[in-house]
A and B are shown apart, each in its own frame.
Chain A
Amino acid sequence: MQNTRSIISINELEVVYNTIYGQVRALNRVSLSVAQGEVYGLVGESGCGKSTLGLSISSLLPTPPARINSGKIFFKDFPITDLSDDELMKIRGTGIFMIFQSPLNSLNPVFRVGDQIAEAIQVRIQRENKHFNLQEVYNYGPIENQGFKSAWNESLKKSRKGLRNWKNSEVISEVLSTLESVRISDPERVANSYPHELSGGMRQRVMIAMALSLRPEFLIADEPTSALDVTTQAQILNNMKSLVEKYSTSILFITHDLAVAANISNRVGVMYAGSIVEEASVYNLFKEPLHPYTVGLLKSFPQGNKRTNKLFSIKGEVPNLASLPPGCPFAPRCSQAKPKCYNDRPQLIEVERNRKVACFLYE
């Protein structure tokens, strides 16, 4: 599963929000990398920073109030943290794409669904054109290099010519076939509908269809199934799996639902209060979790029936990021906390191959 080449790698990313209560550190030196064709499940409870991480990668953080304090994000070894909007445009879409939780708001209400997918197809075609080579652009190295911009503009100019050769009917038939591939039975009707005329599950499938037509190398899915019913959720998960199989897209799947993460991920990271506390292959994480928080989360997931199985519940509440204790953020809720845990912050270290945990129990 582990591919040598990572599509996204994040290095010691720290994001802070300026709020009326002072500075809140939403991400505390988070590092992770996602390989090609891999589905990385990012699990955590509300307010742990998992959405902030997703928005940072797609460079959609609302700045201000958010600010990247330190750290870097690399897309295929190319730093994207300091890019301007114009430069980011070239990476977004076919490079990085994102699906949001609310399927109602992520489609523009005043355009027909088909037009919005067609737009995505046109973006891809523009870049897929044989004159257009993303790699060529990256080879110019860091953005300080003047070559980057000119190489980009050059290839864009050439590819515009290519776009004109595309007949509209071809785009339309691709819209319909993409909708069909996400198992929408009447693609013509759906393509001609406005978003509000479709159900939530249908809209989310349209978003997946958009992803399918962009064929991004990296897809960030922020709780894409949380607002949906189980049968629809199962279908969306299936559609996402086919995205990985067809185009070997890498996915960062952000969710609060352990079960969903177990179902779709190859590797899982558990976040707590702005840090990743454990990271392992999906099998290891669910079969033998190490961090007390992961253990607690799994034990508090309702399974079986109340007569046979008493649910474990982690005591206390998710901490407020504005006033984190100095030591391990989980220490106040941890049943195995030692005095050291209240003073020093454990680092995320590799305890086995491909297995990391941030806990003094495993040092």
Chain B
Amino acid sequence: MEIVNVTNLIKEFPLSRGLTDILSRKRKTMRVLDNVSFSVLEGETLGLVGESGSGKTTLARILLGLIKPTSGKVMFKGEDIFNLRRLNKLEVHAVFQDPDSSLNPMMQVKDIIAEPLFNTKMSKKDVDENVIEILSKVGLTKEIATRYPFELSGGQKQRVAIARALIKKPKFIVLDEPTSALDVSIQAQLLNLLIELQGEFGLTYFFISHNMNVISYISDRIAVIYAGQLVELGTVDELISNPLHPYTKLLWACVPRPDPETKISVKDFGEVPSLINPPPGCRFHPRCPYAMEICKSISPTLEKLNNIHLVACHLFSRR
């Protein structure tokens, strides 16, 4: 069953204009998300992978209702999230990359975690009980409750952020690079914790990362985003064993493995295009070794190849 359904999402940001643009009344925008459609199934982890500047975080912020899309719809359990009243929106929660900027340094841990309950009519005693319970769920001791964020390590801070996301018992959690700032040993602890919590609370994750190893470990399905466009989407096994889009192939080939026998063998990489002036047609075509004439003019759409695999590439288009 679908819990979140995104259709034809477009997000444009205005750019500052030069004198000539103002005089000629030209509007300049940067299309950060271009016609993105996908859905998240209940109970799954959908991984979103892409390079910096590809629109990952913008997508996360739209799903959280923090910014409005230029056009397109985001449906949460069949309802448009931008039509809902504010309270209901809180069913979606988030954990961000940098706990230092997402946790208020002037607040104690227990107040940080209890903050989402602020507007509910819960008694103080119930709130405290809830906080203690959720603390133990994320593997923190009771003593942490009265500390301030600066007294915690990076891993502990991220656990606090997870606890805050969980306190209202949401069904859907957006995780934006939750482990990127952490060391490998701490990252493993956190990934295990996230998997455990998912089983226990029946959570659905939207997991964003630029780290291919983490994404392919934690996800059930993976979506690949390039320059604001979804280029491929499929189950983990399918996408890893049978990547179709040339960009996905390039990404996979560039991922280093902790194994001295498999070295990166790619020779030509190219550059991520600027979103201010993206190439026409398929945004990947200047870097694509298989680019055809049609790729330079017509942007391919995400098409279903079979039940578990979608790809946006003219090589696999049935038209």
Contacts and interface: CB of A to CB of B under 8 A. Distances in A.
Q: Which 8 A-B pairs have the closest CB atoms?
A: A300-B188, A302-B217, A259-B256, A45-B183, A234-B254, A229-B51, A313-B188, A313-B189
B184 A297 contact: yes
Nearest to A286: B260
Contacts of A287: 260
Contact of B264 (A229, A263, A305, A311): A263
Interface in A288-342: 296-298, 300-306, 309-314, 317-318
A229 B155 CA distance: 23
Interface stretch (B120-128, B265-273, B294-302): B265-273
A256 B256 contact: no
B185 A300 contact: yes
17 contacts: A46-B154, A183-B269, A231-B251, A234-B253, A234-B269, A237-B256, A256-B183, A263-B260, A263-B264, A283-B260, A286-B259, A298-B258, A301-B213, A302-B217, A313-B188, A314-B185, A318-B186
Contact of A45 (B185, B195, B212, B258): B185
Given A233-B256, A234-B269, A258-B258, A263 B263 contact: yes
A312 B188 contact: yes
A265 to B, nearest CB: 8
Contacts, number: 135
A273 B32 CA distance: 43
Contacts of B258: 258-259, 262, 286, 298, 301, 303
B14 to A, nearest CB: 21
Contacts of B237: 305
A313 B191 CA distance: 9
A305 B216 contact: yes
Interface string B266-284: 1111111000000000000
B191 A311 contact: yes
Interface residues of B, number: 46
A233 B269 CA distance: 10
A174 B186 CA distance: 45
A50 to B, nearest CB: 12
Contacts of B187: 300, 302
Contacts of B257: 259, 262-263, 303
Nearest to B193: A313
B210 interface: yes
Given A45-B183, A301-B213, A303-B258, A237 B264 contact: yes
Contact of A303 (B155, B213, B268, B272): B213
Contacts of B153: 317-318
Contacts of A224: none
A318 B213 CA distance: 22
A276 to B, nearest CB: 17
B146 interface: no
Taking each of B192, B195, B217, B266, which has the highest tally of chain A beta carbons within 10 Å of its own beta carbon? B217
B145 interface: no
Given A238-B264, A263-B263, A46 B183 contact: yes
B166 to A, nearest CB: 19
A230 interface: yes
Contacts of B264: 234, 237-238, 263
A238 B266 CA distance: 9
Contacts of B183: 45-46, 256, 318
Contacts of A199: 271-272
A286 to B, nearest CB: 5
A260 interface: yes
B309 to A, nearest CB: 17
A266 to B, nearest CB: 9
Nearest to B257: A259
B255 interface: yes
Given A300-B184, A303-B217, 16 more contacts: A45-B185, A46-B154, A229-B210, A230-B255, A230-B256, A237-B264, A256-B184, A262-B259, A263-B256, A286-B259, A297-B184, A300-B187, A302-B187, A302-B213, A302-B216, A302-B217
A257 interface: yes
